[in-house]
Amino acid sequence: KVAIKILRPKTGRSEDAREAAAARLQREAKAMAKLTHPNVVTIHDVGVHEGQVWLAMEFVAGGTLREWVDAGPRPFAEVWPRFRSAGLGLAAAHQAGLVHRDFKPANVLVGSDGRVQVTDFGLARLEGDEDASEPSAIRELGPAARVTSSITLSSRVTQTGAFVGTPAYMAPEQFAGGLADARSDQFAFAVTLWEALCGERPFVADSAHALMFAVLQAKLREPPRTADMSRSVRAALGRALAREPKDRFESMTELLAALEPKQRSRGLVLGVFATLALGLVAGGLWLGGDEPQVAAPTECRGDDPALAAQWNGERRKALKTQLAGLDAPYAKDSAERTVAALDDWAERYRLARVAACEDTHLRGIQSEQLLDQRTLCLDRRVRRMGEVLTVLEAADVDTLGRANTLVDSLDDLDDCANREALTRAGAPPEDPARRKVVADLEAAVDRAQTLRLAGRYEQAVAAAREAMASADEQDHGPTRISSRYELGR
């Protein structure tokens, strides 16, 4: 499936002005079409029909980050994986010379597979354009918006000669009518992340005009005490929300590095233990020897030997070469997209492992048993990745056409953080031998599913029957059900 978007130049202009606007629309759209990144919605084709520019875009089944953010504030570990992905998409666009100019939760898609993609570069500009001082000609289908007191904080304003974007997420330079650049997107990203963590945006205002004054005067509110925002995250967001673009980070990449949880997790863990030890000594409660013996903190790391065995530089390079060499005009582009999507999945997997560990050893909000269940869930995802890679490495042209489906079949990693579902599933077997049996049964079902999605139906049926027989032999209900379901597909 593809999504078609129609872009229209503004009305009320001369014929020459409309033609120039249409030409710029094509130029911008073609620049976006050259961008290939797993966290940016892909533009497949660009054309003109009866004077209107159209885009054939990747169809993404799912929702937007807007609904997710509106559900209320969330802990950093839950928020960060999605925002990191969105930030990587913005960073890739910036490296390609594109500026979004209207980044907000509604312009971030969350697919049914959990993949996060930035979309609607409707106000995007190609940096260095000779007409860069003029706002983009792209607008929403509907009446042109004007800068009046009736504009709401969530309105999208694209009127030529006025500020451009959505007021609630706009940078000071956009309010002032200046040129927006990559640092303006950085500002909008910081507003959005603040909102997800705090349940409110960083500037207090009840109208677009009040917001404009608050932003221009850099009146940043303090985050609620209940918000999961560390000092380092607060400092990074404060810098990204600076009034002057020169005072922000040099790039989105630098901002993402400053927000990385692994930079804060170790310091926080050590800080908690050091503070505890100091408090015990100062309060005269230390009952040990001459010096307090503080237990070594658990360091939560995202690197996993199982993932490294499945996805590493050597295998990545070999897969990309193999797919790109197939006899299809789209082989090279498909190879790049597939490898990039696998890279993105691997990074999200690492972050999911860190979050699972921190929920037990840092935040103390889950039991060791639940951590064990989350870890086993993630382990299965890595094994499933291995099945997908095995099929892709033997791909022909037909399988190449199914590469997106195969990568998308890697389950949403958020499922492994669903405490209610994990609790309902019950505790895993304590016996290591039985755990190995269950893992093998699950791998057999995953193999059947992967073969089916690759179009190898005879092999898929045989694999499903083998999985079902093994499940019956081992008397394992869950895989007995899933293997029979797979056989019926």
Q: Where are the domains of the chain?
A: 61-259, 349-488
How far apart CA 184 and CA 192 sit, in angstroms, is 13
How far apart CA 191 and CA 207 sit, in angstroms, is 16
How far apart CA 3 and CA 64 sit, in angstroms, is 15
Of 102, 91, 63, which is closest to residue 255 (Cα–Cα)?
Answer: 91
| Per-residue pLDDT at 285 | 38
The CA-atom distances, in angstroms, between 372 and each of 61, 368, 375 are: 31, 6, 5
Active site residue 327: no
The CA-atom distances, in angstroms, between 485 and each of 231, 332, 377, 440 are: 49, 35, 20, 18
Mean pLDDT of 303-319: 90
Evaluate if residue 394 carries a pLDDT over 90: yes
Most distant CA pair in the chain: distance in Å? 87
Structure tokens at 277: 């030890």
Residue 21 pLDDT level (bands cut at 50, 70, 90): low
- The size of the chain, in residues, is 489
Evaluate if residue 50 carries a pLDDT over 60: yes
- Which residues partner with 157 through β-bridges? 165
- Which residues partner with 125 through β-bridges? 99
How far apart CA 156 and CA 216 sit, in angstroms, is 19
Asked whether the beta carbons of 256 and 189 are under 8 A apart, the reply is no
**Alpha helices, H only, 65-144:** 65-70, 76-95
Of 28, 8, 27, which is closest to residue 18 (Cα–Cα)?
Answer: 8
Evaluate if residue 349 carries a pLDDT over 90: no
Q: Tokens 């048993």 sit at which residue?
A: 369
Structure tokens at 472: 């019956």
Mean pLDDT of 471-485: 89
In tens, the pLDDT along 172-225 reads 888 887 788 899 999 999 999 999 999 999 987 777 778 888 888 888 888 998
| Per-residue pLDDT at 7 | 67
Asked whether the beta carbons of 239 and 232 are under 8 A apart, the reply is no
| Per-residue pLDDT at 141 | 25
In tens, the pLDDT along 92-150 reads 888 888 888 889 999 999 887 788 999 877 544 444 444 443 433 333 222 223 333 33
Structure tokens at 63: 């929702």
Structure tokens at 94: 């910036």
Mean pLDDT of 416-445: 86
How far apart CA 275 and CA 296 sit, in angstroms, is 13
Q: Tokens 């609630």 sit at which residue?
A: 168
Q: Could you tell me the fold of the domain covering 61-259?
A: Transferase(Phosphotransferase); domain 1 (1.10.510)
- Which residues partner with 62 through β-bridges? 111
Structure tokens at 410: 């890697």
Residues with Cβ < 8 Å from 1, sequence gap 6 or more?
59
Evaluate if residue 282 carries a pLDDT over 80: no
Catalytic residue (choose from 45, 102, 303, 414): 102
Percent of the chain at pLDDT exceeding 90: 34
The CA-atom distances, in angstroms, between 380 and each of 229, 383, 439, 444 are: 31, 5, 7, 11
Neighbours of 174 (CB within 10 A): 27
Percent of the chain at pLDDT exceeding 70: 79
In tens, the pLDDT along 52-99 reads 777 788 888 888 898 888 888 999 988 998 999 999 999 988 888 888
Structure tokens at 358: 């921190």
Considering the entire predicted model, what is its pTM?
0.52
Structure tokens at 162: 């006025």
